[in-house]
Structure 1
């Protein structure tokens, strides 16, 4: 398995989840009359509450040359750890606030380091909290940490900072009926990079509104990567283990 494929499996696995016995959330009456402050408050109210989660996920990604599909097991403990394992534990990964680790049994290699490579690959600076936010269908940046202006276009609220950052531009599209994120887009014009995460549908489980189908688009120069996520057989708040040990004799990958 090529290094890029390994990394994509890791990224894909930590950007997703679904819940057992869930039902797709249907939009209610849309309210397009909220201020940015009211909108952010309504979005915050709908942040899901959980302690642990697990799921089996089908991941499809298209790099413009080939389309690959994998099923992975995923587990997470809020604010502490994200864990994934491909079939037969061929690729296994562990992500904590301090580091990113994974190993590949096929070529007996492993990686243990920080978030720099994942950040470079997706074109935006990542840390554990940002990855967890994407996983949960939350905005990559805390909306309460900046001042936003609001507009309406094509049936969605659009939030953008009153003053865009120097190196990149941010846009958040929110559903006007359930106030969840429909899309978040980060563009670096000078670097010709664009990252877009579209939440195509949401679902409700245990009174929590969670992502159901997600599409991730990462563009750099003329290269485009598309990741599709389909979530199955997930449960919340079970007692979970996160077994991970790099086998002896494996060669370290330097990134």
Structure 2
């Protein structure tokens, strides 16, 4: 479970950064009458469009009744890089489409590798786009209207594959007012695993809809890990740097 905890943090840790006020998105008029094809189109229209993003990211981590909170600098370049830096550069991470890298000055260790471990852990291919989508409030898997069906339950659209697999179940919950993702849930019933990402609120930043509060719940057997993310002072399209160099003498982590 320790490794699962670290990777869940990895999902969360490799992401977000600094500057500008934003307005929390409030619910508008609900529309429950869209066919699946139109619903998926409306969701796609809401995807945030930007080149770079910067924010302060507060991470609250809870497991076995113990909670820790940290605030870090987060930067991202759309489709290219995700960068995170803790105070005094004690921990720094860089995620690209090619690999995941981070180092920790507290114990002089580093990791520099691919997404294979994350993919094996969740039982599905994980890549840069899925990590990016998780943080931006987009579905981890592309919704194709020919393969998905939609229904309404308790005031929320539920979108799921027409044919769910026995070993792997996917559910996307969409807001009927703005068609953004309210929650995405991936289950592996036979493995007693469940990953749930809830988007508790969104914010309007320069006319782009960006997550404000995200709650990640990872369950394996009887153990539950909760990671809450709060994105503050978000700014878009600034000229950003993504410095990263593993210090000499650090010991490589073998996952």
TM beyond 0.5:
yes
Shift of 1:115: 1.1
CA distance in 2, matches of 1:177, 1:76: 28
How many matched pairs? 254
1:254 aligns with 2:234: no
CA distance in 1, matches of 2:123, 2:213: 22
User: Relative to structure 1, is the Cα distance of residues 164 and 175 closer, same or farther in structure 2, using a 3 angstrom cutoff?
Assistant: same
Shift of 1:125: 3.5
Which residue is 1:135 aligned to? 135
Q: Which runs of 5+ in 2 are unaligned?
A: none
Shift of 1:113: 0.6
User: Relative to structure 1, is the Cα distance of residues 38 and 8 closer, same or farther in structure 2, using a 3 angstrom cutoff?
Assistant: closer
Q: Which runs of 4+ in 1 moved over 4 A?
A: 2-9, 15-19, 120-124
Contact 2:15 2:76 in 1 (8 A): no
SS at match of 2:144: helix
CA distance in 2, matches of 1:118, 1:158: 26
RMSD: 2.0
C-alpha offsets along residues 134-163 of structure 1, whole Å, 9 cap, x if unaligned?
111000001127511111111100001001
Contact 1:157 1:176 in 2 (8 A): yes
Which residue is 2:225 aligned to? 225
Alignment of 1:62-77 (within 5 A): 62-77=62-77
Shift of 1:4: 7.3
Q: Relative to structure 2, which stretch is displaced further, 113-122 or 234-243?
A: 113-122
Q: TM-score, normalised by structure 1?
A: 0.93
User: Relative to structure 1, is the Cα distance of residues 159 and 197 closer, same or farther in structure 2, using a 3 angstrom cutoff?
Assistant: same
Contact 2:25 2:202 in 1 (8 A): yes
User: Relative to structure 1, is the Cα distance of residues 5 and 148 closer, same or farther in structure 2, using a 3 angstrom cutoff?
Assistant: closer
User: Relative to structure 1, is the Cα distance of residues 5 and 157 closer, same or farther in structure 2, using a 3 angstrom cutoff?
Assistant: closer
Q: Relative to structure 2, which stretch is displaced further, 201-210 or 19-28?
A: 19-28
Alignment of 1:88-127 (within 5 A): 88-120=88-120, 124-127=124-127
Contact 2:205 2:235 in 1 (8 A): no
Contact 1:167 1:188 in 2 (8 A): yes
Which residue is 1:23 aligned to? 23
SS at match of 1:143: coil
C-alpha offsets along residues 200-221 of structure 1, whole Å, 9 cap, x if unaligned?
0111111111111110000011
User: Relative to structure 1, is the Cα distance of residues 152 and 7 closer, same or farther in structure 2, using a 3 angstrom cutoff?
Assistant: closer
Q: TM-score, normalised by structure 2?
A: 0.93
C-alpha offsets along residues 9-52 of structure 1, whole Å, 9 cap, x if unaligned?
54213355787321111111111011110100110111110000
